[in-house]
Amino acid sequence: MKYVDHASVVKRMGSRMIVNKIFKALFFLATLFALLALGLLFYRIFIQGIGYLSLDFFSNFGSRFPEKAGIKAALIGSLWMMAVVAPVSLILGVGSAIYLEEYAKKGKINDFIRMNISNLAGVPSVVFGLLGLTIFVRALALGNSILAAGFTMSLLILPVIIVSSQEAIRAVPKDLREASYGMGATKWQTIARVVLPSAIPGILTGGILALSRAIGETAPLVVIGIPVIIQFLPENLLSQFTAMPMQIFDWAKRPQEAFQSVAAAGIIVLMMFLLLMNSIAVFIRNKFQRRY
Amino acid sequence: MASNDHQANVSVQDMIAKQKGKKGKKRIEKSIPVILFIIASISVLTTFGIVFTLIFETFEFFQRVPFFDFLLGTEWLPFSNNEPLFGILPLIAGTFKVTLIAVVVAVPFGLASAVYLSEYASDNMRRVIKPVLEVLAGVPTIVYGFFALTFVTPLLQQFIPELKIFNALSPGIVVGIMILPMIASLSEDAMSSVPNSIRDGALALGATKLEVAVKVVLPAALSGIMASIVLAVSRAIGETMIVSLAGGSTPRFDLDMTDSIQTMTAYIVQVSTGDAGYGTTIYYSIYSVGFTLFLFTLLMNLLAHVISKRFREEY
């Protein structure tokens, strides 16, 4: 005796199966839309900017003439800013993560800090610019210096670094900690010599990704008044400077057609920089991250 | 012999006592949590810093401009020489237009991608598509802004001849592309966390994959999906560089998508790149606009939090 009448199943399911297939194709096409947008974006900018990408572009300062405009000041400026953002945001971020994961007792204060971090992550970057303008540029009188911009950017990416460091620390298995305590280590010894070393690949991966966000971020720099026409390289942390996204913003705004291509060339440099950082992050993740 | 045993006992206890008595070590153990607590409280201080900065400077602004003129005014003409007007509604209208278009683009495409990734895609497919979405999410907004201005706007002008160089449509679409990965990946997370047993149950009853996705997985993951959309809306509201480059700087209180607009964020950028001196009404106005913006995004973030907490289905 047949339990399943195949013909009737096909008859009843047929149209529904077709609908399923149609929607599967639709969903796939919608997913392709994102890939297409990304491809188009890269292709357009590459075609537009490649003509202006030469060695001179790296060695020239900003200029009123598109042929002479270069990204030197902006590239070096971005690196200087990173020299502030990287240590400040990593120390603050990892320190906070250690406190929240290892020391904080479950309770209202802890919940409040967590809630606060998730809300801070949702504050628009332009508002961080207003904070930087009031606190760092004016109240602490740092002016529109590397230090002021670096501090502002550090606070901007702080929530991202805290969350990714927390995840990295949480992924360290409890056995390792117990073993360390069992050997007579104190809590801080356990954290510094056992937990952090095994969490460091994860912390670095998240940290580099957050830093690459800080490099591409424009709005806070605009608000704290970072200039664009800079004809010198910064000498110390209190120097004026300009950064790559600022420079690109300025070029893109100019009415001359040729500056659009200069902006595209600047974007290629910026994207190459980000690509490099992301590759390092992926490399660290694949090479050093242990799974327990 | 007996004395030797005794000696050994004492020495171990001594060692422990010695170790315990080390003052430096104790001090480190005691001071580390305090230091770390101070570091952790910096994130809280940042929030307070933002809120107080915005409140103080906005208060200063309201000394010069009446509160209700700001809240209900339909004209934003801060640079007018004879009679500057500070009615926030045109800026809110600009932000609203861009956000609306962004949502119209991002929600269907984002959700469709999420359904595809979580219900249909093979592991290999997922391994290709997910990094692409991550890259898309990591592209700096200035790059999107440039793309909107130099590619999307000219492209749209071929279909809509009356479209101005600066408009709401093009930045709206590009902001939509920007927030798409966020909706896709957060919704996919929500859908993937629906247990397979539920899917299998539906499939065993004769449902197709589509029916499983729409009638079983979507409702079960609804809280996560809604939260992802709200978070993406919050991101769209706060987006700055795309609208600054491609949206223009003409605040207007209407629903025209084809003409130049100004959003709250773009106004802050316009003033910051101009030369409004410290202490002028225009200077304080960026804080009042920033505060309004902050309230909008805070509201959205809290809403997302409540949705994901209150309506989560536990399995």
All residues of chain A having their beta carbon less than 8 Å from the beta carbon of residue B186 are: none
Could A99 and B37 be called an inter-chain contact, meaning their C-beta atoms sit closer than 8 Å? yes
Q: How far is B259 from chain A (nearest CA, A)?
A: 18
Question: In 10 A of CB A248, how many CB atoms?
Answer: 30
d(CA B279, CA B57): 10
Residue type for position A113: I
Least confident of A82-91, B80-89, B135-144, B162-171: B80-89
Once rounded to an integer, what is the mean pLDDT over residues B12-32?
Answer: 74
Could B239 and A124 be called an inter-chain contact, meaning their C-beta atoms sit closer than 8 Å? yes
The label of the residue with tokens 């939509």 reads: B176
Looking at every residue in chain A, the average pLDDT score rounds to: 89
CB of A272 less than 8 A from some CB of B? no
Asked whether the predicted pLDDT for residue A258 surpasses 60, the reply is yes
This prediction's pTM: 0.90
Q: What is the pLDDT of residue B1?
A: 44
- CATH T-level fold of A56-288: MetI-like fold (1.10.3720)
Burial state string for B141-172 with b = 16 or more CB within 10 A and e = fewer than 16: bbbbbbbbbbbbbeebbeeeeebbebbbbbbb
DSSP H helical ranges for chain A: 6-49, 55-59, 72-98, 108-121, 125-132, 146-170, 174-182, 187-190, 196-216, 219-223, 244-253, 257-288
All residues of chain B having their beta carbon less than 8 Å from the beta carbon of residue A19 are: 208, 210
Asked whether the predicted pLDDT for residue B58 surpasses 70, the reply is yes
d(CA A57, CA A266): 9
CB of A42 less than 8 A from some CB of B? no
Q: What is the pLDDT of residue B132?
A: 85
Q: How far is B252 from chain A (nearest CA, A)?
A: 21
Q: What is the pLDDT of residues A34-85, one digit of tens each?
A: 889 989 999 999 998 888 888 788 887 777 777 778 888 899 999 999 999 9
Q: What is the pLDDT of residue A291?
A: 64
d(CA A209, CA A221): 19
Structure tokens at B109: 């495409």
Confidence grade of residue B2 (pLDDT, cut at 50, 70, 90): very low
d(CA A176, CA A191): 10
Contact by Cβ (8 Å): B247, B234: no
Could B113 and A34 be called an inter-chain contact, meaning their C-beta atoms sit closer than 8 Å? yes
Asked whether the predicted pLDDT for residue A129 surpasses 80, the reply is yes
The label of the residue with tokens 């539906």 reads: B202
Contact by Cβ (8 Å): A108, B264: no
Closest CA to B36 of A60, A266, A98, A256: A98
The larger pLDDT score, comparing residue B309 to residue A155, is at A155
d(CA A208, CA A214): 10
d(CA A181, CA A175): 10
